[in-house]
Structure 1
Amino acid sequence: MRAVCVIGLGLIGGSVLRAAVRSGRTGWGATTSEEDAAAARAAGYDVAPSTEEALRRAAEQEALVVIATPLPAVGGVLRRVARHAPETYLTDVVGVQEPVRELVRELAPTTRYAGGHPMSGTADSGWSAGQAELFDRALWAVTADEGTRLDSWLEAAALAVDCGSRVVPAGPGEHDAAVARISHLPHVLSAVLASVGADGGPLALSLAAGSFRDATRVAGTDPELVRAMTEGNRAALLDALDDALGRLGAARGSLASTGSLNSTVRSGHEANGNLREQHTAERVSRTVPLNAGHALRRLREIGEQGGCVVSLDSESATVELPAPE
């Protein structure tokens, strides 16, 4: 099993290090947070004294380097990667993929890179919030475009599987468009809803119950992390916001003119049902050979169909797809 070097030991990076070590991999990390470093060492994990030292060790041991910092810090990490581990296998766990891919091409072009984004987390942050089980049965996007090497993708995907996840193959742009709608837009709407509720005063907040708590949960996430995630996906998020604002405008217009929200409520109810059906539908298993030149393209097509990789080796990937109706 390839060793893992995790740069950034907050919620996600700290959980990656824990899960990788749990799987039997050798793992170490580095962080600029003295608090996180001390906590990780106290828990028995190997934390290098600096990012540079961690990366030099990664080069010596041919480790997979995982960038687990917010997007604004990625460029600085990549400059260090280019100096100390220029040919390393490299992945990330950043919530937006196209900007990271472009930074890798600019700053660390000789690395063997495939992007990654585990779809798991909490509203808390820091090493203390992490856990080895965070990714168990979670989905983990591993991205590839026409320039991605198959061996690079397989290294990133193998880490995700070893951490307990199912892998969703995707293109970077397709990933960013998707998460704008199902992750980044919800953070914006949650922030707005929390503010609207708070402006209702003490009575409104005293009456706030389950539906309000559920809808505003992610508003409790560290604002700087939310900004890094959402602002880094500006174009795709603007498209999603335009769609949402159009639907809210239509709902307001209908309520004002007819007194009815029927179309909005029924459309949302149907969409929620479709989501539940996709998550609970019977699935079929397929084997995808990895020795064909179009293997990555085929895997991306499986991701677009709602499928995922559940296991893989050097010759084939076992995937699950929604059963045909």
Structure 2
Amino acid sequence: MPAASSRSVCVLGLGLIGGSLLRRLAGTRPAFGYNRSAATVDAAAADGYDVSNDLLQTLARAQAEDAVIVLATPVTALASIIDAVAEHAPACLVTDVVSVKEEVARIIADRHPHARYVGGHPMAGTVHSGWDATDPALFTNAMWMVTTHDDTDSGDWLTVAEIARAAGSYVVPAANDAHDRAAAAISHNPHLTAAVTAAVGAGESRLPLRLAAGSFRDGTRVAATPPELQRAMLEANAVSLLNTLSETIDRLVAARDRLREHGDVAAVVEAGHRARLAYEEIASGDVEPIVGVTIGEAGWAQELRRQAHQARVWIG
């Protein structure tokens, strides 16, 4: 098996995330990609990248080169892609950059049950999409979740983790269900609250939008993401999102009732303020690495997860 640093990478889907990953890895290792849109392929090829809109040919190459296949399409398009991978590149290690993990794992288990699969999710993005939005620096210093279960193959895990590191990211080991709960809380739920804030702010005239400044701009940024992309992400994480949405509604109802009956919103504002300060402490501080773990030794996956819950990251 080739060393991880020289392993070919095959990116299926050249939108913002997949295209940015191809841009980042190209030149550092063999990297090639596929997209069903001829226009996207033409644009990427014009920029000098090794791309095709022939899926079966791309997968045959991946199989021949023992490439790592990166699934970078919306979750709604995964089933047919995975069917093709199972038929034409069954031996390849598969990872993904999709924003939910339980649903991706379920689809792969159903359609490619013998797959070597280690999930992934870079916590990076913009409200823009398509090849023109891609940026090789998109993942620099981002957090990249890599699926870490007790039965995860250590060699495959290292290969995927090293791709994340090559993209410039820190690796956050986590179980799929823990990732989806976290993503619902800090990514998917904010998409819904941003949508509500934008809709309420628009009001019945354009006056509020003329007056809108930083808090509206920052609080509604992700509402500018194309609705079809938002739906694909949010609806695929329905169980975890329902839980965080229910908590959000409960807190807002409590704030409304307190304001109506006592004239204050202290509890919700103070809880939010404390949480924001905790986030700023983690986000602005030095990145603390996971220590004392040798990948592949007994209990390695459990210990990685334990330290990740303390906000530590794997840097190799």
Q: CA shift at 1:222, angstroms?
A: 1.1
* Structure 2 residue aligned with 1:303: 308
Q: Deviations over 1:106-126 (max 9, x none)?
A: 111222110000000000000
1:82 is aligned to 86
Contact residue 11 and residue 121 of structure 1 kept, 8 A = yes
Cα distance in 2 for partners of 1:284, 1:135 equals 18
Structure 1: distance between partners of 2:273 and 2:106: 38
Helix, strand or coil for the counterpart of 1:117? strand
Q: Distance in 1 between matches of 2:179 and 2:310?
A: 13
1:223-265 Cα offsets, whole Å, 9 max, x none, are: 1110010000000000000000000001100110111111111
- The SS at the match of 2:146 is strand
5+ long unaligned stretches in structure 2: 1-5
Distance 1:240 1:28 in 2: 38
Distance 1:103 1:203 in 2: 47
- Find 2:116's aligned residue among 106, 112, 116: 112
Q: What corresponds to 1:233 in structure 2?
A: 237
Cα contact 1:64–1:88 (8 A) shared by 2? yes
Question: Contact 1:48/1:54 (CA < 8 Å) preserved in 2?
Answer: yes
Contact 1:90/1:152 (CA < 8 Å) preserved in 2?
no
Q: Per-residue deviation at 1:287?
A: 4.0
Q: Do 1:68 and 1:93's aligned partners in 2 also have CA atoms closer than 8 Å? A: yes
Amino acid at match of 1:279: A
SS in 2 for 1:5: strand
- In structure 2, the CA distance between the partners of 1:81 and 1:213, relative to structure 1 (3 Å rule), is same
User: Do structure 1's residue 20 and structure 2's residue 25 form an aligned pair?
Assistant: yes
Task: Select which of 172, 177, 199 maps to 2:176.
Answer: 172
Match of 1:202?
206
1:43 aligns with 2:47: yes
Kindly provide the CA deviation profile for residues 135-191 of structure 1, in whole angstroms up to 9, marking residues without a partner as x: 011100001323321122111111100000000000000000000000000001111
Q: Distance in 2 between matches of 1:289 and 1:152?
A: 14
Higher mean C-alpha displacement, 45-54 vs 239-248: 45-54
Secondary structure in 2 matching 1:201? coil
Distance 1:18 1:280 in 2: 28
TM-score (norm 1): 0.93
For residues 47 and 60 of structure 2, what CA distance do their matches in structure 1 show? 24
1:162 aligns to 2:166 (yes or no):
yes
Q: Distance in 2 between matches of 1:195 and 1:246?
A: 20
**1:294 is matched with which residue: 288, 299, 313?**
299
- The reply to whether residue 216 of structure 1 matches residue 213 of structure 2 is no
Matched, 1:138 2:170: no
Structure 1 gaps, min length 5: 313-325
Choose between structure 1 and 2: higher strand proportion: 1
Give the whole-Å Cα distance in 1 for the aligned partners of 2:288 and 2:275. 23
1:320 is matched with which residue?
A: none
Please report how far the alpha carbon of residue 293 of structure 1 lies from its aligned counterpart in structure 2 after TM superposition. 2.5
Q: 1:221 to 1:240 in 2, by over 3 A?
A: same
